[in-house]
Structure 1
Amino acid sequence: MNEEIKPKNGAKIAIEEIEKEAEKIDLDELRRKYDSEANTRDLRGWYALMVTAIAIALSAFHIYTSGFGLLLAIKQRAIHLAFVLFLVYMLYPPKKKGVIETKVPWYDFLLGGLAAFAALYHVIFFNDIIMRAGLPTTMDLTVGFIGILLLLEATRRVSNPILPGIAIFFLFYCYAGRYFPAMFAHRGFNVMRIINHMYMGTEGVFGIPLGVSATFVFMFILFGAFLEQTGMGRFIIDLSMALAGWSTGGPAKVAVVSSGLMGSISGSSVANVCTTGMFTIPLMKSVGYRPHFAGAVEAVASTGGQIMPPVMGAAAFIMAEFLGVPYLKVALAAVVPALLYYFAVIVQVHLEASRLGLKGLPREQLPKILPLLKAKGHLLIPLIGIIYFLLAGYTPLKAAFNGIVITVVVSFLNKETMMTLPKLKEAMESGAKGALGVACACGTVGIIVGTATLTGLGLRIASAIIALSGGILIVSLMLTMVACILLGAGLPTTANFIVTSTMAAPALLQLGVAPMAAYMFVLYFGIAADLSPPVALAAYAGSGIAGSDPMKTGATAVKLAIAGFLVPYIYVFNPMLVLVGFEPIPFLLSIATALLGVFLLGMGSIGYYKAEMALWQRVVAIGGAIALLIPGITTDIVGLAILVVMFLIQRQKAKAAAA
């Protein structure tokens, strides 16, 4: 895939040729390179059968409890973590490089068994632990120490050493707080108090993050796995082709639409790039898009899926818990920011196609929308059902359960999509495996959250941010943005959100930012880390498929996602965009000016509308875009005036070029 595919007969190229090119890509190798959660053993024989059985049991446990009633919080979380830790030690070797193992060594059976027992300790001795609450025995503390240690090692294996390293630092801070600078100092706690706080209650490892993983997150990951087995991924690509493949730069728009929809279900940027990008990136290259641009478009669209309602990434469920609001309120608040994000990407791919003279694909080569909907349109019913159940007031857990049931039922409407027993087994197994990374991250960041509740660190960091910024909101926002992106270089999105929302969001709240806007700000920039060099994993995965330079692809992805970097600032200053203080007329006006601002921003970013733009015109256009995005009558008038001037200049240049 290092050679660019040349268009044949203009824009005409058979879809079959694209699929053949896609088949040449080693998807497993690509995922192992950029997605740490894909670096698993390739188990054979009874080892594979054992892991399959345990993964299916984990999925069955969650389906049962979500449909017929959850256990007590600590028991639900403990059983969830026990399954997860055992599977991690079975699947993930201590070292990620070298020969792929086909067996599980004896020491990993020992570690996995110990980790599972340490988690199940809360279930086995539940009554005893409750009776002696606050007075842990030597056995309690020993199990707690082993449990924390094995959780950190499991997290290292499934992701990387950075998150466990941060957790260890916070544990050290709990112990040695008196030796830290005055702004962060506290009296310090002994080892027994730390282990008791972090492991024997619901303030640390078994806190809210793991609780969300053990309920909402797992079920939505499982829902996505069921949809995948029905052929939903290919249906979304075909539907996107039918809707947008014929238009100017159609293949890139197909990538944006299909990756956005799939990303909303999968919740993983890299996995989504590897899934839909296998088809969309070669397709974009086939009509003339440059490889780095094609890889960047796919990365940006896939990453944005985590902020795309109705099924957002795992962090959105945790945000709902932190805010103490229904998940539906978070999903509705994310609608306008997601709309602006994807509108900006669509505008830029359209203008890039117009600049290069790229046409869409011939309609005769594209799927026909009515036959497609007739054959596979029933696959949309589960997604519609999820939206209905959320709007009707069902909990996200019940909505996901109902969505899985509906998926199985409607799959039988077509022989091709039917959930056979092998597909059912694969869905339950892949769903369980797909949740391992999130679960370990949630358990580990529970230690960081526990540190904040034990020592009051969150308020201390908030005070430090306010002091460092001089109490100026825009400076505090910039510091928070930098922290989110830097943490995102080594942390999964969910862990990044929990850490920054615990440490940085309180500073924004103290400066008067609406809670929904503050947490959404942190979420956006945590996700943006997947696009931002030097560690832009989604962009690098896209470059691997496109055969392009990774850094160039990452830089282009940042440019395409520029709205994603600006819009969070706008809804902090105009929280109506996230439905805070909602009023219909001002809300509609805010959306209108924001859309115009995003269009002008795309024009300045690409440097083209109807003709090439001079550098000064691009700078002025970006300035006008920012004016339109900033709330206020004066700034809106300035932005509109610049938009009109740019339009007239571009129209005149286009006429002159045509003449």
Structure 2
Amino acid sequence: MASNNKENRALSEEELQELVSSSDAGSRNPTGSVGLLLAVVAVVWSIFQVLLASPLANYVLPGDVVNNSRQFHLAFAVFLAFMAYPALKSSPRDYIPIQDWVFAIFGVFVSLYGFIFYEKIVAAGGLADNVDKWFALAGLILLFEGARRALGPAMAIIATIFLCYVFFGSSAWVPDVIRWKGASLQKAMSHMWITSEGVFGIALGVSTRFVFLFVLFGALLDKAGAGNYFIKMAFGALGHLKGGPAKAAVVGSAATGLISGSSIANVVTTGTFTIPLMKRVGFTSEKAGAVEVASSVNGQIMPPVMGAAAFLMVEYVGISYVEVITHAFLPAAISYIALVYIVHLEAVKNNMPTLGNRVVSMGKTIGGMAAFFVGFALLCYGVKYPVGWISAAVGDSASWVLALLIFVAYVALLWLAAGVPDLEPDDPNAENVELPVVGEIYKSGLYYLLPIVVLVYFLMIEQKSPGLSAFWATMLLFVILLTQKPLKSIFRGENQTANAFREGVLDLIQGLIDGARNMIGIGLATATAGVIVGTVTLTGVGQVMADLVEFLSGGNLILMLVMVGLLSLILGMGLPTTANYIVVSSLMAGVVVELGAQSGLIVPLIAVHLFVFYFGIMADVTPPVGLASFAAAAVSGGDSIRTGFVAFFYSLRTVALPFVFIFNTDLLLINVGWAQGILVFVTASIAILIFTAGTMGWFLTKNRIYESVALVLISFALFRPDFFMDRIQPPFDQIDPVNFAEALGNAPEDGRLRLTIAGPDFDTGDIVETTLVVRPEGATPEERLEASGLLLLPEDGVMRMDEPSFSSPYADALSSFDFYLDEPVQITQVQAPADQMPKELMFIPALIALALVVMLQRARMTRQEVPA
């Protein structure tokens, strides 16, 4: 019993920082000249990445370095991994053993191997020779060891299994369904290390160009004091409500999650303050930890950073960054709305007390927060008008004028901040907790919003690249860190300007170090994940996964999605968000697209990537691995497994939403106008709140079972009105396949025809089906048919097909068919959109049913209030 109590005790502040550093930045921290060397390397890495992202990169850095930036990025990460992360728990923390120096230096050499021997490799056509292959193998071994130290064993084990599959895929002990011919060491090492198909592929490129700058931006913003400001503001706004500390934890974690790449760091950073206060008002240790876990993990799905996955989606999906965050915003926003409601219901169910003695109107609080977010969005959007006027007025000098105006705005906001005391972290265990008053503290950190406004402006309005946008926002943070303390000292009439400037320089250096150390794991994760991506491209195992999932699901679409979700959850166990997304998307995204098309469901690629991403990050929550749940239990002193299960229950909406937006892409704001987008947001918000009430067993009062069932069904009707409308009125008219060309010619310009195509599979010869959506392009039927690239061969009442032209937009979708066997490839079904009543009409019966549940619960509440 004693050992169990010891196991579940809350960790001290020092132990918690050790937990974060060991998981995110490395627990080894040598002093003296070695410590200075590590700090210098970290600062040099940060400065290198800032220069690489700057508009002057090609002028200040050699062209060879810019072109091989991925190698340098990995070299820094590998060197710091062996320096900062000890090999074993028993390894020394205060000095670096000689073998780690050898590993680190040799790791730098093999990381830069492609740069050093560039001419030789190019002359060989990118194929490794007998010397190259051994250095490449050594590089992979060192990379896996560095990943094991920085990320835990899961990533290294998964990558090793995939690499073994590359070599031994033809062995008898490999199941027939996934067997392949295998590859030689020379071919495998060429693919994995020498070319850009494996380790130095897209994922590491995204880490180099975009992710580092955003991680550095977050580290600098936190070092400037923004993290504490966000938490204070959240507690000032929500702390006095029923269950207020938990509501503030959700909002505070949302704010820090916007710029954070780590759910574990988020849990510990905000949880050290929020979890004790949640326990104080009546939450159990497990529930307090679970609220923080659900809030922090949710930060990974919230644009603009999404744990760095947003930038990877740009590359993998092939759409702009603005489109990615537009599609990801609504599900993430309503997920947070639901989490606040979950916390509210827990507080109401258990009649929890409030903190402090201030009376706060919840309506005014929600209205004030909504006004702030709307105002902030309008500010980010509205800035483009004065910027346009200034650009028109001063021409080429506009950038200097705008920089000056931003600095003037910064100085003015800093002058406001100097008029109030600096915010100090509170002690959540103090006998009397004095929660801050928003009206008194908001001035102290308004200038923290300026870098975020700059970032959002360049990303969303100017639509610059994420790297360049983060560069300008980071430059502003450099200025803030260097000047905020000395300028405050001047404004307050203090004689500490020189000391304050020295502190600012030290803060900037520490921010650069923190940014670099936080990137070690992400850099190694993206590089190691490149081995998995390389395995998929080399072996074609992605197609095998599709066959396996199809076989196990029996072709049932819902069961297939459930299996993909579970596989994503399993593959994501123990991996950081970025690596997690790379692994699950590489293996599972194509599966959903292919099997969905075979079942008649056309799913946009971004919806598929978000689907696997949502399930992948749930691995941070779910036992037995749930790293964020373990971190929260370390803060709360609760049981980690129970914390994980409660957090999973709180995260049910994160599990349900991917299924919803796979079938209803309106939630991702795909092909949705402003008016419809507002309607979708309102109905989706209502739907997620009703779903939450149904699953929590409490709405206005405790639910009866039939009321919970009714609420879940009502939420389903609001989320998917088309499901019911399609059963009242079919969504498509059936057209004889022989008349496809005529139907394509008669289709309206914004119309689309759905084709079901059946034929022999290229690999197996089995008859398979897929679904295509054909959009009419051209004025005449002949032009439209030619633009489609589909070659039709009508014969005996059957619309046969020949292999489409290479220029056809449907060539890839039909590449799995064998057009040269006796069994023909043919169009078996043609569907055209039917005239159907608006699906939104289904909201009416759903809201009537909701009103009936409200009436039932109000009547029961009235009876309960009447004294016996």
TM-score, scaled to structure 1: 0.92
Q: Using the alignment, how far apart are the partners of 2:672 and 2:550 within structure 1?
A: 28
1:649 and 2:856 matched: yes
Alignment of 1:36-115 (within 5 A): 36-37=23-24, 40-67=27-54, 68-69=56-57, 75-95=68-88, 97-98=89-90, 100-115=92-107
1:130 and 2:214 matched: no
- Deviation track 1:217-264 (CA, whole Å, cap 9, x = no partner) reads 111110011001111111001111222223232211110000011012
Q: Using the alignment, how far apart are the partners of 1:522 and 1:135 within structure 2?
A: 34
Which of 847, 851, 859 is the aligned partner of 1:640?
847
Q: Secondary structure at the match of 2:278?
A: helix
Residue equivalent to 2:137: 145
Counterpart amino acid of residue 123 in structure 1: F
Residue equivalent to 2:448: 379
Larger RCO: Structure 1 or Structure 2 (Cα < 8 Å, ≥ 6 residues apart)?
1
Counterpart amino acid of residue 394 in structure 1: K
User: 1:35/1:637 Cα in 2 relative to 1: closer, same or farther (>3 Å)?
Assistant: farther
Deviates more, 1:70-79 or 1:172-181: 70-79
- Deviation track 1:190-243 (CA, whole Å, cap 9, x = no partner) reads 111101111101000100111111121111110011001111111001111222
1:550 and 2:640 matched: yes
Q: Using the alignment, how far apart are the partners of 1:231 and 1:614 within structure 2?
A: 47
Q: Using the alignment, how far apart are the partners of 2:17 and 2:216 within structure 1?
A: 23
Deviates more, 1:397-406 or 1:470-479: 470-479
Deviates more, 1:648-657 or 1:356-365: 356-365
Q: Using the alignment, how far apart are the partners of 1:317 and 1:344 within structure 2?
A: 26
How far the C-alpha of 1:101 sits from its partner, in A, is 2.1
1:304 and 2:304 matched: no
1:408 and 2:615 matched: no
Deviates more, 1:80-89 or 1:41-50: 41-50
Select the structure of larger CA radius of gyration: 2
How far the C-alpha of 1:40 sits from its partner, in A, is 2.0
More strand by share: 2
Deviates more, 1:86-95 or 1:537-546: 537-546
Q: Using the alignment, how far apart are the partners of 2:311 and 2:11 within structure 1?
A: 38
How far the C-alpha of 1:33 sits from its partner, in A, is 8.3
Q: Using the alignment, how far apart are the partners of 2:226 and 2:20 within structure 1?
A: 26
How far the C-alpha of 1:516 sits from its partner, in A, is 0.8
Residue equivalent to 2:819: none
1:601 and 2:699 matched: no
Q: Using the alignment, how far apart are the partners of 1:246 and 1:228 within structure 2?
A: 25
**Number of aligned pairs?**
638
Counterpart amino acid of residue 199 in structure 1: W
How far the C-alpha of 1:538 sits from its partner, in A, is 1.2
How far the C-alpha of 1:629 sits from its partner, in A, is 2.4
Alignment of 1:385-400 (within 5 A): 385-391=454-460, 392-400=462-470
Q: CA RMSD in A?
A: 2.3
Q: Using the alignment, how far apart are the partners of 2:14 and 2:323 within structure 1?
A: 37
Q: Using the alignment, how far apart are the partners of 1:31 and 1:527 within structure 2?
A: 23
Counterpart amino acid of residue 198 in structure 2: G
- Deviation track 1:600-622 (CA, whole Å, cap 9, x = no partner) reads 12212322233222334333323
2:24–2:265 contact (8 Å) kept in structure 1: no
Counterpart amino acid of residue 105 in structure 2: G
Residue equivalent to 1:431: 515
User: 1:198/1:157 Cα in 2 relative to 1: closer, same or farther (>3 Å)?
Assistant: same
Counterpart amino acid of residue 294 in structure 1: A
User: 1:360/1:409 Cα in 2 relative to 1: closer, same or farther (>3 Å)?
Assistant: farther
Which of 151, 156, 163 is the aligned partner of 1:171?
163
Alignment of 1:407-556 (within 5 A): 407-411=477-481, 412-413=483-484, 415=488, 420-510=504-594, 511=596, 512-556=602-646
- Deviation track 1:440-482 (CA, whole Å, cap 9, x = no partner) reads 1111110111111112111221232233323332122111110
Counterpart amino acid of residue 579 in structure 1: L
- Deviation track 1:48-84 (CA, whole Å, cap 9, x = no partner) reads 1111111111111101111123766761000011111
Counterpart amino acid of residue 294 in structure 2: V
Q: Secondary structure at the match of 1:266?
A: coil
- Deviation track 1:126-150 (CA, whole Å, cap 9, x = no partner) reads 2222222244333322221111111
Counterpart amino acid of residue 421 in structure 1: V
How far the C-alpha of 1:585 sits from its partner, in A, is 4.4
How far the C-alpha of 1:573 sits from its partner, in A, is 0.4
User: 1:89/1:234 Cα in 2 relative to 1: closer, same or farther (>3 Å)?
Assistant: same
Counterpart amino acid of residue 655 in structure 1: T
Q: Using the alignment, how far apart are the partners of 1:645 and 1:539 within structure 2?
A: 39
Deviates more, 1:354-363 or 1:274-283: 354-363
Structure 1 residue runs of 5 or longer lacking an equivalent are 3-21
User: 1:509/1:453 Cα in 2 relative to 1: closer, same or farther (>3 Å)?
Assistant: same
1:39–1:92 contact (8 Å) kept in structure 2: yes
How far the C-alpha of 1:166 sits from its partner, in A, is 1.7
Residue equivalent to 1:15: none
Residue equivalent to 1:5: none
User: 1:293/1:27 Cα in 2 relative to 1: closer, same or farther (>3 Å)?
Assistant: farther
How far the C-alpha of 1:100 sits from its partner, in A, is 4.4
How far the C-alpha of 1:160 sits from its partner, in A, is 1.9
Deviates more, 1:260-269 or 1:611-620: 611-620
Alignment of 1:24-35 (within 5 A): 25-29=12-16, 32=19
How far the C-alpha of 1:638 sits from its partner, in A, is 5.4
- Deviation track 1:378-400 (CA, whole Å, cap 9, x = no partner) reads 01111121111101111100111
4+ residue stretches of structure 1 with deviation over 4 A?
70-74, 416-419, 633-638
- Deviation track 1:109-130 (CA, whole Å, cap 9, x = no partner) reads 1111111000112222222222
User: 1:600/1:438 Cα in 2 relative to 1: closer, same or farther (>3 Å)?
Assistant: same
2:53–2:467 contact (8 Å) kept in structure 1: yes
Residue equivalent to 2:438: 369
Q: Secondary structure at the match of 1:435?
A: helix
Residue equivalent to 1:260: 254
How far the C-alpha of 1:623 sits from its partner, in A, is 3.3
Alignment of 1:269-284 (within 5 A): 269-284=263-278
1:205–1:446 contact (8 Å) kept in structure 2: yes
Residue equivalent to 1:352: 346
Q: Using the alignment, how far apart are the partners of 2:634 and 2:298 within structure 1?
A: 19
TM-score, scaled to structure 2: 0.70
Counterpart amino acid of residue 129 in structure 1: I
Residue equivalent to 1:7: none
1:34–1:270 contact (8 Å) kept in structure 2: no
User: 1:642/1:163 Cα in 2 relative to 1: closer, same or farther (>3 Å)?
Assistant: same
Counterpart amino acid of residue 464 in structure 2: Y
How far the C-alpha of 1:152 sits from its partner, in A, is 0.8
1:160–1:490 contact (8 Å) kept in structure 2: yes
Counterpart amino acid of residue 69 in structure 1: A
Residue equivalent to 1:6: none
- Deviation track 1:475-501 (CA, whole Å, cap 9, x = no partner) reads 221111101111222322222211111
Q: Using the alignment, how far apart are the partners of 1:37 and 1:494 within structure 2?
A: 13
- Deviation track 1:372-424 (CA, whole Å, cap 9, x = no partner) reads 23221101111121111101111100111111111232453553898711101
Q: Using the alignment, how far apart are the partners of 2:683 and 2:161 within structure 1?
A: 46
How far the C-alpha of 1:32 sits from its partner, in A, is 2.6
Q: Using the alignment, how far apart are the partners of 1:193 and 1:427 within structure 2?
A: 42
How far the C-alpha of 1:343 sits from its partner, in A, is 0.9
Percent identical pairs in the alignment equals 35
Deviates more, 1:197-206 or 1:159-168: 159-168
Q: Secondary structure at the match of 2:531?
A: helix
How far the C-alpha of 1:27 sits from its partner, in A, is 4.5
User: 1:194/1:526 Cα in 2 relative to 1: closer, same or farther (>3 Å)?
Assistant: same
- Deviation track 1:171-200 (CA, whole Å, cap 9, x = no partner) reads 222222233444323222111110111110
